[in-house]
Amino acid sequence: MKLKTTLLAGAITLASGTASLAADSSDPIVIPIHNWSSQIVMSHVVGQIFESMGNSVEFVTTDSQAVYESVRLGDVTLELEVWEGAFGASFRAALEKGGLHDAGDHDAVTREDWWYPMWTKDACPGLPDWKALNECAHLFATAETGDKGRYLDGPVDWLKHGKERVEALDMNFTVINAGSAAALWAEIGSAEKDKRPVVVFNWTPNFAEAVWPGEFVEFPEWVDGCDKDPAVGPNPNALYDCGNPAQGYLKKAAWDGMPDKWPGAYDVLKKISFTNPQIAEMAKFVDTDEMEPEEAAERWLEENESVWKVWVDGGT
């Protein structure tokens, strides 16, 4: 069977004159795992697809910024969720150094920024404008933040530059970093009981949008260079004086050595494209339904064969 496949592959190569269709290496494809649910479930979904093709897969838990250096060096094979807002800068820096490449976009459109559940707007009707938020800062004051408003930002490795933005826009807020994604959901959940105004870091696609209707704060629109050139954005002397991209990309990235070492898996990686609802559902299985990520991935694959099987066998 193996011989026949190889011969057939050889014939196709000769006929088409394209790259070799050699078998994938038996070394494990190394997939990184980070600290938010959709990325963990998606990584297991794709890992299980690769395993179904006969590949071996290894998962490693890594920092979500440092991972681009690891992919560039080939210590990690790929990254499935390159969010423009959080990781665009690290991804671009690694691209410039060389060793990793853009393996295509997901269908999903992403946004990551300051966000509030809708009841917050009852107390601060000028929202979603950031200046209105700033005028309402006292509504968000806590014992911890004194007369400043409290903004609960994401874990530090998501590098949201919340503190820099507060300074650049001269806002009356104190930025606190959550220790985990779960701490963000706990903050919204506890505010829900008495409809206390809160503003926290959030993103889409995510399970949260189905649980708590809400909106992103509208900051000065993102302009390329806002994180590199002080002249860009409303404050001529500061970086990070813009919101994150409101229509951000979600990319896949791969080590440059992947196409040669695992051509079959690489071909599938290139075809993989998840939508906003698919990604939100992956997160929901874990964050709402409390499934283990591996179990959530199995369930997703079972229920979505028509989505992923075409990536593997071309839909035949």
Q: State which residue, 83 or 285, has the beta carbon closest to ligand TMO.
A: 83
CB of 102 to ligand TMO, least distance (A): 18
Neighbours of 108 (CB within 10 A): 22
Does 86 interact with ligand TMO (rule: CB under 6 A)? yes
Position 178 contacts ligand TMO (CB under 6 A): no
Q: Which of 130, 185, 203, 308 binds ligand TMO (CB under 6 A)?
A: 203
Smallest gap, in angstroms, from Cβ of residue 210 to ligand TMO?
16
What are the residues facing 174 on neighbouring strands?
A: 150
Angle at Cα 116 formed by Cα 251 and Cα 252, nearest 5°?
A: 5
Residue 83 binds to ligand TMO (criterion: CB under 6 A): yes
- The two tokens of residue 306 are 């028509």
Task: Collect all residues with Cβ–Cβ distance below 8 Å to 66 and sequence separation of at least 6.
Answer: none
Chain-centre distance for alpha carbon 161: 16
Per CB under 6 A, the list member of 79, 112, 187, 241 interacting with ligand TMO is 112
- Number of C-alpha atoms within 13 angstroms, CB side, residue 149? 27
Residue 282: beta bridge partners? none
CB of 203 to ligand TMO, least distance (A): 4
Neighbouring-strand partners of residue 110: 248
**Taking CB under 6 A as the rule, does residue 36 contact ligand TMO?**
yes
Q: Considering the complex, what minimum distance in angstroms separates the CB of residue 138 from ligand TMO?
A: 28
- How wide is the angle at C-alpha 254 spanned by C-alphas 251 and 256, nearest 5°? 140
Of 45 and 265, nearer to ligand TMO (C-beta) is: 45
Query: Rule CB under 6 A: is residue 113 a binding residue for ligand TMO?
Result: no
Closest separation between CB of residue 170 and ligand TMO, Å? 25
Place of tokens 């507060």: 166
Count of residues that interact with ligand TMO, criterion CB under 6 A: 6
Three-class SS state of 11: helix
User: Would you tell me which residues interact with ligand TMO (CB under 6 A)?
Assistant: 36, 83, 86, 112, 158, 203
